[in-house]
Amino acid sequence: MIFVDAGAFIARYKRDDDDHDAAMRGWKRIAASGQRCVTSNLVLAEAVTLIGRYFDYRFAAARARAILESAAIEIERPTAQDEAVAADVMEKYADQRIGFVDCVSFVLMKRLRLRDCFGFDKHFTYAGFRLWPSH
């Protein structure tokens, strides 16, 4: 199972994104292999909001529905304890300016025992995770 960050969702549709080609390769590999994915409701909210800003809110709403209905992407919701730990993680990495959504993602990935993140945000490597796919 692989954790999907907002960048992988956004770069899939935003053709002028520096990571668009890598995102497309990643999504194709996932589809071909049947690999299961997980993301969080917070990542989904972040990605869909940005997709709406870049494109159109109807398009973004359709993408949200497709992700929510997908059998291949599980949506993990953090607990209050996950969020409290994420606040500690955010403080730990304050000098790196890592956002709360990423910190919650780190906590969820640790809880789910995941090492790989389909995304392009180097903050995941600072926290000891691997970015997938490599460029």
pLDDT band at 22; cut points 50, 70, 90: very high
CB 29 within 8 A of CB 41: no
State pLDDT tens for residues 81-102: 999 999 999 999 999 999 999 9
Instruction: Match domain 2-77+114-127 to its CATH number in 3.90.1150.10, 3.40.109.10, 3.30.429.10, 3.40.50.1010.
Output: 3.40.50.1010
State pLDDT tens for residues 38-63: 999 999 999 999 999 999 999 999 99
User: What rounded mean pLDDT belongs to the chain?
Assistant: 96
How far is residue 31's CA from residue 72's CA, in Å, rounded to a whole number?
Answer: 9
Residues 6+ apart with CB under 8 A from 11: 17, 18, 19, 20, 22, 23, 120
Domain boundaries, the chain: 2-77+114-127
